[in-house]
């Protein structure tokens, strides 16, 4: 029996018959992998997926290619994506994040620490990184390799790219090591087996290491400061203060802290003081704020001795009346460790000085403290007297600020 007229089959819908613009719109939502796969399905999709504007989004997303860079290269978007992928394809999941971090850091340094720019080294080649792996007989993580395809660390100079710290008789400034210097410091000794140094301080010899294998109680690619266990009989026993779980996380979190103003710039150097935005107190016209830092090179877990430094900023409002000029007379501290033990300290001035504070003026100083516990806090007040009325004394609150040792673990060597 013949089928009714409305049941007759219409001609099969062919991809060749579909209009181009809707298809290009659909393809514009595909990731680069799927776009490449379309090239192998049929002739029509091969032609459409080669449409140059489709590759613009991928060039910007994965390689951070700008219109200006495209013009300089004098290539189409698809050609740029393919040529860049042929060189950096193994790093495609890391490249944009690391390149943006480096670009942001360079822009910031150019404004605030220009002499550091000259210490940065040019990128290395893929074969240079392969040669280092052959030299140390260990694989380097791709995020680490990717960073060195952008910048090969820095020269061994001061100040170091990875931050400084200074006290009256102690100075630290960490350089980001280039790949050859890092390979030369690769460790195979007990306690630091298969660890690669990432940073180095010329003054203290301090380094941050990355574990290239999960040995001696470390997780693979964990980053840490090493500290000797002074109570162990075995000289290879060390304690590790953890600073990162991967190179990508370690480097980008540091750069973000720098470029967002989280670390102060002092004498053209990045100082690694951490400021808690809630750690601010205002008394009358005077505001006191505090930032802190942990110093692993002066600390010990066995025996327990955790060393912290803090930076105090005292500022009088620029709107204060001129007769409010005053001078700091003394300080009072209440120091509490994690066990609740309290120590009180009182004395004249601060760090041997008796600063005068006037409208709009800022006075800053650094000092330090130690705890036998992994954390503690300090609070107190300064006593000032008015210079226009020397019989008037008043106390200015120092906000409570906490100091916490980083996570640490003991080597199982």
Q: How much is the pLDDT for 327?
A: 96
58 shares its domain with 190: no
Provide the pLDDT for residue 145. Answer: 98
End-of-domain residue from the set 54, 69, 90: 90
Confidence of residue 47 (pLDDT cuts 50, 70, 90): confident
Q: Is pLDDT of 11 > 70?
A: no
Question: Picking from 45-54, 81-90, 100-109, 170-179, which range would have the lowest pLDDT averaged per residue?
Answer: 45-54
Residue at a domain's end among 229, 258, 287: 258
Token readout for 322 is 């001129």
Contact 224, 242 (CB under 8 A): yes
Structure confidence by residue, pLDDT tens digits, 138-150: 999 999 999 999 9
Residues 321 and 238 placed together within one structural domain of the fold: no
Domain of residue 348, CATH code: 2.60.40.1470
Give the per-residue pLDDT at 8.
Answer: 53
For residue 123, what is the domain's CATH number? 3.40.1580.10
Q: Is the pLDDT of residue 15 over 70?
A: no
Contacts of 158 (CB under 8 A, 6+ apart): 173, 202, 203
What separation, in Å, do the N-terminal and C-terminal C-alpha atoms of the chain show? Answer: 87
pLDDT at 14: 66
Condensed to tens digits (0 to 9), the pLDDT of residues 222-246 reads 999 999 888 877 878 899 999 999 9
Whether residue 164 lies inside any domain: the answer is yes
Residues 223 and 155 in one domain: yes
- Residue 137: partners with Cβ closer than 8 Å, 6 or more residues away: none
Domain of residue 227, residue span: 96-258
Cβ-Cβ contacts under 8 Å for 358 (sequence gap 6 or more): 316, 320, 322, 325
Q: Do residues 244 and 137 share a domain?
A: yes
Q: Could you tell me if residue 10 is inside a domain?
A: no
Reported as a single tens digit per residue, the pLDDT across 110-132 is 999 998 999 999 999 999 999 99
Say which residues have a Cβ less than 8 Å from residue 361's Cβ, sequence separation at least 6: 315, 316
Identify whether residues 221 and 282 lie together within a single domain: no
| Same domain as 150, residue 225 | yes
User: In terms of Cα–Cα distance, which of 143, 165, 152 is closest to 245?
Assistant: 143
Q: Considering the domain boundaries, does residue 217 fall inside one?
A: yes
Say yes or no: 105 and 74 in one domain: no
Q: How far apart are CA 327 and CA 78, in angstroms?
A: 67
Tokens of 328: 């700091």
327 and 368 both lie in a single domain = yes
Q: What is the pTM of this model?
A: 0.90
Reported as a pLDDT band with limits 50, 70 and 90, residue 3 is: low
**Is residue 129 located within the same domain as residue 68?**
no
- Alpha carbon 190 to chain centroid, angstroms: 29
- CA-nearest of 244, 205, 233 to 413 is 233
Confidence class of residue 23 from pLDDT cuts 50, 70 and 90?
Answer: confident
Give CB contacts under 8 A, 24+ apart, made by 132-137.
132/179, 132/180, 132/182, 132/183, 135/183, 135/186, 136/183, 136/186, 136/196, 136/212
Q: What is the pLDDT of residues 249-268, one digit of tens each?
A: 999 999 999 999 999 999 89
Domain count for the chain, please give it.
3
Could you tell me the two tokens for 78? Answer: 């698809």
Cα 129 to chain centroid distance, Å, stands at 23
Do both 132 and 26 map to the same domain?
no
Query: 272-319, pLDDT tens digit by residue?
Result: 999 988 899 999 999 999 999 999 999 999 999 999 999 999 999 999
205: which strand partners?
A: none
Q: Is the domain of 75 the same as that of 180?
A: no
Give per-residue pLDDT as tens, 30-45: 888 888 888 778 888 8
Q: Is residue 232 part of a domain?
A: yes
Boundary (domain end) residue, out of 203, 223, 258: 258
Q: List the structure tokens of 94.
A: 């890391």
In a domain, 138, yes or no: yes
Regarding whether 253 and 155 lie in a shared domain, the answer is: yes
Dihedral, CA atoms, 333, 337, 343, 344, nearest 10 degrees? 10
Helix residue ranges per DSSP H, 137-199: 142-148, 179-184
CA dihedral 236, 239, 241, 245 (to 10 degrees): 70
Interatomic CA distance for residues 386 and 364, integer angstroms: 20
Is 413 among the domain residues? no
The confidence score (pLDDT) of residue 166 equals 94
DSSP string, 266-326: ETTEEB--EEEEEEEEEETTEEEEEEEEE-GGG-BTTTTBEEEEEEEEEEE-TTS-GGG-E
Q: Is 365 exposed, middle or buried (0-12, 13-18, 19+ CB in 10 A)?
A: middle
Q: Sign of torsion, CA 344 348 352 358?
A: positive
């Amino acid at each position: 029996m013949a089928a009714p007229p409305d049941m007759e089959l219409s001609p099969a819908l062919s991809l060749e018959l579909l209009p181009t613009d809707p298809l290009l719109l659909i393809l514009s939502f595909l990731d680069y992998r799927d776009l490449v796969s379309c090239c192998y399905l049929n002739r029509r999709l091969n032609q459409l997926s080669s449409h140059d504007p489709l590759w613009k989004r991928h060039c910007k997303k994965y390689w951070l290619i700008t219109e200006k860079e495209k013009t300089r290269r004098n290539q189409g978007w698809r050609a740029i994506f393919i040529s860049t992928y042929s060189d950096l394809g193994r790093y495609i999941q890391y490249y944009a994040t690391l390149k943006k971090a480096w670009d942001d850091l360079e822009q910031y340094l150019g404004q605030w620490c220009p002499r550091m720019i000259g210490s940065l080294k040019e990128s290395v080649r893929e074969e240079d990184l392969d040669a280092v792996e052959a030299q140390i007989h260990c694989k380097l993580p791709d995020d680490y390799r990717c960073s060195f395809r952008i910048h090969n660390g820095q020269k061994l100079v001061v100040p170091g790219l990875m931050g400084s710290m200074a006290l009256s008789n102690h100075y630290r400034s960490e350089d980001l090591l280039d790949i050859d210097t890092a390979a030369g410091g690769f460790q195979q000794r007990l306690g630091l087996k298969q660890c690669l140094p990432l940073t180095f301080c010329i003054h203290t010899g301090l380094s941050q290491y990355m574990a290239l294998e999960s040995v001696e109680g470390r997780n693979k690619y964990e980053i840490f400061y090493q500290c000797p266990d002074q109570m162990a009989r075995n000289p290879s026993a060390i304690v590790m203060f953890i600073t990162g779980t991967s190179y990508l996380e370690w480097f980008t979190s540091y750069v973000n802290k720098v470029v967002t103003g989280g670390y102060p710039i002092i004498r053209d150097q990045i100082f690694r003081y951490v400021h808690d935005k809630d750690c601010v107190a205002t008394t009358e016209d005077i505001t006191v704020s505090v930032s802190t830092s942990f110093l692993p090179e002066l600390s010990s877990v066995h025996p327990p001795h955790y060393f912290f430094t803090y930076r105090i900023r005292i500022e009088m409002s620029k709107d204060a009346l001129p007769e409010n000029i005053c001078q700091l007379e003394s300080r009072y501290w209440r120091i509490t460790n994690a066990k609740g033990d309290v120590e009180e300290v009182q004395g004249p001035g601060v760090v041997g000085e008796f600063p005068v504070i006037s409208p709009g003026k800022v006075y800053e100083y650094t000092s330090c403290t130690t705890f036998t516990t992994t954390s503690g806090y300090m609070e107190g007040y300064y006593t000032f007297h008015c210079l226009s009325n020397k019989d008037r004394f008043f106390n200015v609150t120092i906000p409570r600020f906490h100091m916490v040792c980083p996570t640490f673990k003991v080597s199982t060597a």
